[in-house]
Amino acid sequence: MSRTRSPAPARQQPRRQPHQPVRALRIKLLVGLGLCALPVAGIAGRWPQSAMLVCAALYLLMSLLALLLYRHDKRQAGQGGQRVAENTLHLIELLGGWPGALLAQQLYRHKTRKLSFQIVFWLIVIAHQIFWVDWVLLERQLSAFLLV
């Protein structure tokens, strides 16, 4: 009697989680808006100046670029393609794209669990906040002190 092998069971693809809503959306929106308050106040308080126009444009463009890069990186991660270097993401955040990066992290649920990435990201956000506190509230006294 000859035995015939039954075909091996097909490998099942890992199930993808259906798109879930962002957790604690209201709190995250409030935090995001709160973090944007100082840059907006700083830019709005000196709006007609050309430097502030450049600053506003830089924040908007870098935030849009960050959003697009996070989206691309998330897609590439799912497909096993060429990823966006973390240093590139951090550079865009440092150049003013941190609001877009913060939004993208929540929209795409990307780079939210990697502690080393989050530490650098939040240090960048804190650096921007310190700059704007100095600019808006301290009238550049901190930067004058540090540059002496």
Look up tokens 């959003």; give the residue.
Answer: 67
* pLDDT tens by residue, 93-146: 999 999 999 999 999 999 999 999 999 999 999 999 999 999 888 888 888 887
CA 34, 35, 38, 41 torsion-angle sign: negative
Smallest Cα–Cα separation from 86: which of 98, 73, 68? 73
Structure tokens at 5: 């092998």
Smallest Cα–Cα separation from 110: which of 66, 83, 71, 81? 71
Phi, psi of 69 (to 5 degrees): -70, -40
- The model's pTM is 0.79
* pLDDT tens by residue, 61-83: 999 999 999 999 999 999 999 99
Structure tokens at 147: 């540059």
The span from the CA of 100 to the CA of 97, in Å, is 5
Q: Check residue 3 and report its DSSP letter.
A: -
